[in-house]
Structure 1
């Protein structure tokens, strides 16, 4: 059957829309649009009218290119206001053969007994391990004989108020929501290989204002976390350190961004403008800029590594896959390999799709490509989605509606809400003394810019 799918990634700096023509298992991109984000900060809607206007522009551009009209969209959801809970449950097997209704019942009871707060709404219910009677590690229980099905699930919830604000912004853009997908989950669909999923893997989407982590083990995602820091924080660190406009700092990052500069590059001196006086400039060695940049990245990777450790799953995974715009920074793989050791590290771009435009082949497009693939049926074997439907890869279109409130079978539960990573709003202050460079050849006794930056950082705390 021919279907038209619209995916909308509501990022913190860019809103990207893709329209795809899906014919069976074949997916073809037929339209794309992008617009600078407004009304969104660190993944959360802060101005509905501005966000809706920006989303509308992005969708309109994609519609013009595709030459079709689309009324519903699959939309990304930042992990900014989400909480996740792991629940183990069970269901009796009718007629001793597991079918989709058996799985649906088990997932519904997991939700019923999970104790979801009233002010939170469910986005995903993802079964990552099945057990049938005493048989462990059942990959797909459909059609198997048994009397009792047990399932370990990962449930992603979001603050209802935050979700409603996103829905309002999407409606202002002129479309309804077909489904909502966690950004890190969408990115993983676009970049992870099957063997990585089989062995266990962490996937991190590194954006402009956020980093979103998910861990895949067993049959699905079983952990996710959020960090309100991204590549924009590198620019803001440099702007403060250099006392230069943020726009100039961003240009320096784009042009000279390198975590592993050569000696020649470090010795180069830049002449940059100062804030408040367009005519005043200052000479700064690139080594100082590289130092500020490196410290921010090291700190970000360290906290992400700590989150993997906190998950309790580090021994169950064999590698880390990085995607998103921040992952494009030169030297990121080497820095990440040191931070996540002994895990292997891979930098990933979204999987190739027929008609994929060059602008969508960059790792910054992983989420929006993942949304299209999700709509085409490339999700985990089973899941209960944001619309309260159970999705099955056996038949991506055959979704069974569920009622969380009316199920009454019993199940075993154990849960622990994850705590979001702390936000790094302040710049890194741990700058090694041996990396300080003079701003000029002068023997003046004035403190260097790096030393003044350190002093400024200490004052913050």
Structure 2
């Protein structure tokens, strides 16, 4: 049976993107349609005009729908980090059966959520378990399910959004006649799309340097353990050029895109361009060296502020895998080389420079021509999250504990009661790509051919062995 198609919507400061994808029979994701529109009614990630934002979002969805040839009425959507507050929490439960069961993990997660109650004017978006410990083991457990133990502890990172901000976003989606199936914070989605398994294991910071904001997250253990944001993005580079050289914004954006470079060479010394003055038909000569200087100044300041935020997190010592940068700003020429050559990020001791990698999102099959750049990290991350790329046992906006390995989720996590009630838990299928299994077909063939008991016993032994 075909999987339900995925509709992902990212309402950003520079663009609004909608993607329709499906999980194929072989478990691979395939993009069927993409719609992109210039952002309207959005500033610094915040909705400031619901009607304008709704029209742009509806147009992006319509474009993706036309391309895909199918209509999807439920969507996973992103919210920027500046919508949210966060808290680090912990939960602990005794294990009456002497081993960790799914209901025990659910109780531990619920205990962690009650340990840091969600403010009344906020809604829980994520509760992400990034560390499990059983009994008195000093080493964190990757997956505690079925482990023999008497006690289970978990460390959980909670992300919460203010209800009023969230309601404005929901109104935009509702105006498009779309139902929200899930909500994912932008930095978390971008990390899903860009981080490698090795980077996650080592501890890494992922920064999405978008149009209006820089969304920051730190991954430690099994998931995100810190998030923050900087109210600066690539749009500030555009504004700087427009103000310094008295340019129309459209011309300033074009100059940034075509000529934006962070490394000045002798070959560029005598080069320049003619650009129109705002409100005037005359053109002015602008040396490339001056353009580079303005862009470099803004980038230097942004990187310095990001370094301050990472230092404030007090987690710099766990960034063994360094820092991964993505988003539209990193498309400036020679960005990665410039950052690494000029030592923009250091560990807490200040002695060693942290490695920096500029990352593109993971490649998906299908119609992905418009999704190749670093600016598409969040939308690709949303698709991957919807397809099962979430943190094992995370609690989402629908108060579900998502469980990967059994392809199921536990529903109805009670975030209001002081004690966990696991008597009325309901379990339903979760849409997650599965690996194809051919053993059942082989077994049926053996039976159909009437092979003797001896071969059946041999086949059974062989199956158990492998």
Tell me the TM-score range normalised by the shorter chain.
Answer: 0.7 to 0.9
Superposition deviation, residue 115 in structure 1? 3.1
On the 8 A contact 1:3/1:23 being kept in 2, the answer is no
Residues 261-289 of structure 1: CA distance to partner in whole angstroms, max 9, x if unpaired? 2122133233322223223x333322122
On the 8 A contact 1:266/1:290 being kept in 2, the answer is no
Across the aligned residues of Structure 1 and Structure 2, the Cα RMSD in angstroms comes to 1.5
Superposition deviation, residue 361 in structure 1? 1.5
Classify 1:8/1:60 alpha carbon distance in 2 versus 1 (closer, same or farther; 3 Å): same
Q: Which residue of 1 aligns with 2:149?
A: 146
Q: Which has the larger radius of gyration?
A: 2
Matches within 5 A, 1:7-156: 7-23=8-24, 25-136=27-138, 137-156=140-159
Which stretches in structure 1 are left out of the alignment for 5+ residues? 410-461
Superposition deviation, residue 120 in structure 1? 1.1
Which stretches in structure 2 are left out of the alignment for 5+ residues? 347-352, 421-466
Superposition deviation, residue 94 in structure 1? 3.3
Q: Which residue of 2 aligns with 1:293?
A: 295
Higher strand share: 1
Matches within 5 A, 1:59-458: 59-136=61-138, 137-279=140-282, 281-318=283-320, 319-337=322-340, 338-341=343-346, 342-408=353-419
What TM-score do the two structures reach when normalised by structure 1? 0.86
On the 8 A contact 1:94/1:102 being kept in 2, the answer is no
**What is the alpha-carbon distance in structure 1 between the residues aligned to residue 96 and residue 367 of structure 2?**
45
Q: Which range moves more in the overlay, 336-345 or 201-210?
A: 336-345
**What is the alpha-carbon distance in structure 2 between the residues aligned to residue 29 and residue 395 of structure 1?**
26
**What is the alpha-carbon distance in structure 1 between the residues aligned to residue 250 and residue 306 of structure 2?**
28
Superposition deviation, residue 23 in structure 1? 4.0
Residues 352-382 of structure 1: CA distance to partner in whole angstroms, max 9, x if unpaired? 2121412111111111111111011011222
Q: Which range moves more in the overlay, 150-159 or 14-23?
A: 14-23
What TM-score do the two structures reach when normalised by structure 2? 0.85
Residues 282-336 of structure 1: CA distance to partner in whole angstroms, max 9, x if unpaired? 3332212211110100111111111111111111112111111111111211233
Q: How many residues align?
A: 408
**What is the alpha-carbon distance in structure 1 between the residues aligned to residue 229 and residue 159 of structure 2?**
12
Q: Which has the higher contact order (CA 8 A, sep 6+)?
A: 1
Q: Give the 3-state SS of the residue equivalent to 2:366 in structure 1.
A: coil
Superposition deviation, residue 215 in structure 1? 0.6
**What is the alpha-carbon distance in structure 2 between the residues aligned to residue 123 and residue 210 of structure 1?**
20
On the 8 A contact 1:76/1:371 being kept in 2, the answer is yes
**What is the alpha-carbon distance in structure 1 between the residues aligned to residue 408 and residue 362 of structure 2?**
22
**What is the alpha-carbon distance in structure 2 between the residues aligned to residue 63 and residue 356 of structure 1?**
13
Q: Which range moves more in the overlay, 351-360 or 157-166?
A: 351-360
Superposition deviation, residue 397 in structure 1? 4.0
Q: Which residue of 1 aligns with 2:444?
A: none
